[in-house]
Amino acid sequence: MNICIIGTGYVGLVTGACLAEFGMNLVCIDSEKEKIERLKGGHIPIFEPGLEDLLKKNVGQGRLRFSTEIKDGVTSSLVIFITVGTPPNEDGSSDLRQVERVAREVARYMNGYKVIVLKSTVPIGTSRRVKEIIRSHQSEPIHFDVVCNPEYQREGSAIEDFMRPDRVTIGAETEQAVAIMKDVYSPLYLNETPFVMTNFETAEMIKYASNAFLATKVTFINEIANLCEKVGADVHHVARAMGLDGRIGRKFLHPGPGFGGSCFPKDTRALVAMAKEKREHLGVVHAVIEANDRQKMKMVGKVREMVGDLNGRTVGILGLSFKPNTDDIRESPAIVIIQELQREGAKVRAYDPVAMDAAKVVLKKVKFCSDPYETVLDCDALVLVTEWNEFRHLELSRIKQNLKEPVFIDLRNVYEPSQMKSLGFRYCGIGR
Ligand code: UDX
């Protein structure tokens, strides 16, 4: 089957690479010439474990190519995935201009029956709107179907999530479209991955509801962790015991400095904005957004509690990306924490295995270091913000030696409080 992907961002590249791996013929389109040239040269613009190898392998085997010509992609493909960006507007709603532009172009070049698949996270009602845009921009009536097929890929494990998903959601209006989507995902269908077949609006809602629920789970345990600190409880035991209840589940109950990234913050705000438009109040999601903002600021309070007045003090930061295995710093707690520390007069030294280039663009006056041991030199405290694997096995004696004061603030509970105390650190984690 010939498939075209329009938009070679995060979702587009992962989808393209994985579908080519499933044996489909892929052409990945982007209007940015320079990006396509770099991709043709084997340069991947994002950091995602396994993606480069998978792209190279499938390009090498002739199943995947890159192009700037949307006409080429549309005319040669039966299935067209739209994976362009839907960035947030000021009020939290999504900017759909790229999706709409692509829909108009697809309509213009349509030369036979096509299935147009929306994979970008789009506000409820967008699939229907895209269908209307295509219909009204065709030069002659040609039969087509629109499908809403939201992605559930986590950055850092996107390929695994694509290849072994918990479910595939298909919002469609015709049996023909459903049958073609089953073909696209045939390896998953044969593996008995659950498929949820439904209408456009439900498919769109499933994505928002899933992300908002996960964001709620994280925020819930963060607030419980904050209370644990005050009452002498250990949040790890609380989360474990809660998670053993099958109705609750163990995942996404790890406390931390607040969620970040390109999805949870954006999708929760977009959901609240959509509800507001329909005069519905999503009180829980609203509270989650506020509590998450508070959580990031609370982390600065933890540093202040351990160090005292921050003015003129030096703080070392380990981890800048919003989570490990990505260079994405969007809405990263580390960035918010650093900016607030600086506002209170602290000097900041920082290290991240891959996100420093991205961080340099948004952070001023930070001393970027080449490893954790250089980072902590002469620091009054070390704050571990992102749980990269290389921070799980630090040479703690070297860290302590390099620090001016042996203060270790562990915002991901990587280390054991009792062990850290016995090593002579003044240590605090979250909720323990
Ligand atoms: C998320 C969804 O998981 C994915 O299905 C969707 O398609 C895109 O959004 P992603 O943003 O890549 O994926 O990251 P995820 O692993 O879900 O983590 C989101 C945030 O929650 C991170 O900041 C992470 O540090 C935080 N988190 C997650 C916690 O603080 N505790 C947890 O237990 C889990």
Contact of 291 with 219, CB cutoff 8 Å = yes
Q: Which atom of ligand 1 is nearest to the CA of 152?
A: 7
Give the pair of three-digit tokens for residue 102. 């692509």
8-state DSSP, 89: P
| Nearest alpha carbon to residue 146 among 134, 161, 154 | 134
The Cα-based distances of 88 to 84, 95, 320 in angstroms read 13, 6, 22
What's the 339 CA to ligand 1 centre distance in angstroms?
22
Collapsing DSSP to helix, strand or coil, 125 comes out as coil
Q: Which atom of ligand 1 is nearest to the CA of 161?
A: 5
CB 263 less than 6 A from any atom of ligand 1: yes
Contact of 4 with 29, CB cutoff 8 Å = yes
Q: How far apart are CA 399 and CA 356, in angstroms?
A: 20
Q: How far apart are CA 220 and CA 208, in angstroms?
A: 18
- Each residue's pLDDT, cut to its tens digit, for the chain (432 residues) gives 999 999 999 999 999 999 999 999 999 999 999 999 999 999 998 999 999 999 999 999 999 999 999 999 999 999 999 999 999 888 888 899 999 999 999 999 999 999 999 998 899 999 999 999 999 999 999 999 999 999 999 999 999 999 999 999 999 999 999 999 999 999 998 889 999 999 999 999 999 999 999 999 999 999 999 999 999 999 999 999 999 999 999 999 999 999 999 999 999 999 999 999 999 999 999 999 999 999 999 999 999 999 999 999 999 999 999 999 999 999 999 999 999 999 999 999 999 999 999 999 999 999 999 999 999 999 999 999 999 999 999 999 999 999 999 999 999 999 999 999 999 999 999 999
What is the pLDDT at residue 111?
Answer: 95
CB 155 less than 6 A from any atom of ligand 1: yes
> What order do you get walking across the sheet with 314-318 strand by strand?
366-368, 347-351, 314-318, 381-384, 407-410, 426-428
Q: How far apart are CA 16 and CA 38, in angstroms?
A: 16
What's the 234 CA to ligand 1 centre distance in angstroms?
23
Collapsing DSSP to helix, strand or coil, 115 comes out as strand
CB 73 less than 6 A from any atom of ligand 1: no
What's the 137 CA to ligand 1 centre distance in angstroms?
38
| Nearest alpha carbon to residue 319 among 356, 269, 357 | 356
Q: How many CB atoms lie within 10 A of CB 202?
A: 15
What's the 336 CA to ligand 1 centre distance in angstroms?
17
**Would residue 263 show up in a list of annotated catalytic residues for this protein?**
yes
The Cα-based distances of 376 to 7, 369, 402 in angstroms read 41, 9, 6
Collapsing DSSP to helix, strand or coil, 179 comes out as helix
CB 154 less than 6 A from any atom of ligand 1: yes
Pocket test of ligand 1: the residue of 160, 214, 385 to mutate, having most ligand atoms within 8 Å of its CB, is 214
Q: How far apart are CA 92 and CA 272, in angstroms?
A: 8
Q: How many CB atoms lie within 10 A of CB 134?
A: 23
| Nearest alpha carbon to residue 6 among 66, 51, 50 | 66
Q: Which atom of ligand 1 is nearest to the CA of 150?
A: 7
Instruction: Tell me which of 4, 18, 148, 263 is the catalytic residue.
Output: 263
Pocket test of ligand 1: the residue of 216, 242, 263, 289 to mutate, having most ligand atoms within 8 Å of its CB, is 263
What's the 244 CA to ligand 1 centre distance in angstroms?
21
What's the 154 CA to ligand 1 centre distance in angstroms?
7
Q: Which residues of 257-283 are buried (b: 16+ CB within 10 A; e: fewer)?
A: bbbbbbbbbbbbbbbbbbbeeeeeebe
Q: Which atom of ligand 1 is nearest to the CA of 121?
A: 7
CB 92 less than 6 A from any atom of ligand 1: no
Q: Which atom of ligand 1 is nearest to the CA of 333?
A: 23
Q: How far apart are CA 430 and CA 229, in angstroms?
A: 7
What is the pLDDT at residue 155?
Answer: 92
CB 256 less than 6 A from any atom of ligand 1: yes
